[in-house]
Structure 1
Amino acid sequence: MTATTDKKQLLHLVFGGELSSLEEVQFKDLAALDIVGIYPDYATALTAWRSKAQQTVDNAQMRYFIVHMHRLLEPGPK
């Protein structure tokens, strides 16, 4: 195994967009969602999330999220 395959991938998706209101997660325009990327671990996803969140700090309705894709791909007991 190589160094990149020794560690189990825990995929995370970072995406965001402008919300319709601050009370709920309802996007104004789904076609305008910003798909930042898919990352191999939470730490890398968090770095990408922080970068995008900082860039949009002046827009209160713009939100970015981290989705734990690995939990969707391999659901286990809760």
Structure 2
Amino acid sequence: MSGTPDDSKPQLLHLVFGGEVELPDSHTFIDVDNLDIVGIYPSNAEAETAWRGKAQATVDNANMRYFVVHMHRLLEPGDDDPEA
């Protein structure tokens, strides 16, 4: 049935977000209230595509950084799937 989760495969959610950071190599955001929440994606490949698009679109701003958070690892920390 279309639109229903496949019980045989775990759901691996990934959050893509970003914002301007204090220093190019830091994770400290200047304005947490204005983070760019790009979206939540069902696979690492889809999340990486979204991340890459945002990162490339903001390449002229060295302090703008985007990240992929493996939400499924936060929900089930003991599940270390190397494919995720």
Shared fold, TM over 0.5 = yes
Instruction: Count how many residue pairs are aligned between Structure 1 and Structure 2.
Output: 78
Q: Alpha-carbon deviations, 1:6-65, whole Å to 9, x = none?
A: 242100000000001124210000011000000001000000000100110000000000
CA distance in 2, matches of 1:45, 1:52: 11
Query: Following TM superposition, where does structure 1 have runs of at least 4 consecutive aligned residues deviating by more than 2 angstroms?
Result: 1-8
Specify whether residues 34 and 77 from structure 1 end up closer, same or farther in structure 2 by C-alpha distance, changes over 3 A only.
closer
> 1:67 aligns to what?
69
CA RMSD of aligned residues (A): 1.8
Q: 1:48 to 1:77 in 2, by over 3 A?
A: closer
Unaligned runs of 5+ in 2: none
- Structure 1 gap segments, 5+ residues each: none
Aligned amino acid, residue 5 of structure 2: T
* TM-score (normalizing by structure 2): 0.82
Identity %: 67
- The structure carrying a bigger helix percent of its residues is 1
